[in-house]
Amino acid sequence: MYHLDIVNRCPGCGKSHWHVGRFSAECAHCETALPLAIVSSQPMEPRFTESFSKTAMAA
């Protein structure tokens, strides 16, 4: 897992340059991807959206 508060070494090549996204970090050299520790520690919550509801049509 990729931790934002420490120096992270790539398990694939051992380097420490990363492209950090919203859910994962990817090694800039060998493209090994790791999940972000802060995201994986939070439970996933479903998001419900409704298209063409009666209340949305009234607005």
**Domain for residue 54, yes or no?**
no
Q: Give the residue numbers spanning the domain of 30.
A: 1-42
Predicted pLDDT of residue 52: 67
**Domain for residue 55, yes or no?**
no
Domain tally, the chain: 1
**Domain for residue 53, yes or no?**
no
pTM to 2 decimal places? 0.62
Angle among Cα 27, 33, 39 to the nearest 5 degrees reads 115
Give 15-49 pLDDT, tens digit per residue. Answer: 999 999 988 999 999 999 999 987 765 666 666 66
The pair of structure tokens assigned to 12 is 């694939």
**Domain for residue 5, yes or no?**
yes
DSSP string covering the chain, please? -B-TTSPPPPTTT----EEE-SSEEEETTT--EEEBHHHHTSPP------SS-HHHHH-
